[in-house]
Amino acid sequence: MPRLPVPVTKNNLLRLRGDLLFLGAGRDLLDQKREFLSDALSTFEREARALREATESKLVTAYELLAEAYAAHGEAGLARLALAAQPLEPVDVRERSMMGVVVPLVRPPAEPSERQPEPAGLRAAAGSSGLAADAAAAELRALTPSLLDLAELESSCLRLARELRAVQRKLNALEVVHIPAHRETIRFIADQLEEREREQLFQLKRIRSLEERSP
């Protein structure tokens, strides 16, 4: 392991020992963050997988109904019916932090009972659209909360996975490069200083021996 390019001095030895303690504390914090992110990612992936399977099965039913409506009304007819449909309320998208990772927090639109009542004209237009079109619209509208939850979970998984990779790279750099380099440099400087002290002690003893022999 290459040593750090620092002079062999006692001050540098003390500084490097302090730096090594700091790097060790940083490694422990990163390791805790890695464990948290890994657990959170596993939980989110498990929830997203279950929700995706349930949502996809319902989407199959919705698209089958939509195919029936397309066959009955054609593309132009469905476009006219879509113009008469009540739009969804805006989706409330916020953010929250998980161990420094910003993930989305999606709130679905208001429930029908919380929205303003539809105008009579729109209700009449929807009622005249045919059973398949009405059923497809109802099915897709009912799936909106699940789709938003799925988007929140999958987006969170992407961000957590990206941060987890970054944390792992930092941990690898600490454990493979920085901490070993500091330990090797500390060992080298300590050995060099100890050798210097032995040489100085030897020289001091020699000088005293010569002084004692001199008349």
For residue 65, the domain's CATH number is 1.10.287.3240
Total count of domains within the chain: 1
Do the domain assignments include residue 214? no
The whole-number pLDDT of residue 196 equals 86
The whole-number pLDDT of residue 126 equals 43
User: CA-CA distance, 25 to 21, in Å (whole number)?
Assistant: 6
Contact between residue 117 and residue 173 where contact means Cβ atoms under 8 Å apart = no
* Average pLDDT of adjacent 10-residue blocks, the chain of 215 residues: 88 95 96 96 96 92 88 85 77 89 85 46 44 84 90 96 97 95 95 87 76 67
The whole-number pLDDT of residue 134 equals 84
Domain, as residue range, for 136: 10-207
Helices vs. strands in the chain: H and E counts, helices first: 4, 2
Q: Nearest CA to 13 among 189, 145, 180, 164?
A: 189
Do the domain assignments include residue 4? no
The whole-number pLDDT of residue 214 equals 66
The whole-number pLDDT of residue 169 equals 97
Do the domain assignments include residue 5? no
User: CA-CA distance, 26 to 30, in Å (whole number)?
Assistant: 6
Do the domain assignments include residue 99? yes
Do the domain assignments include residue 37? yes
Do the domain assignments include residue 41? yes
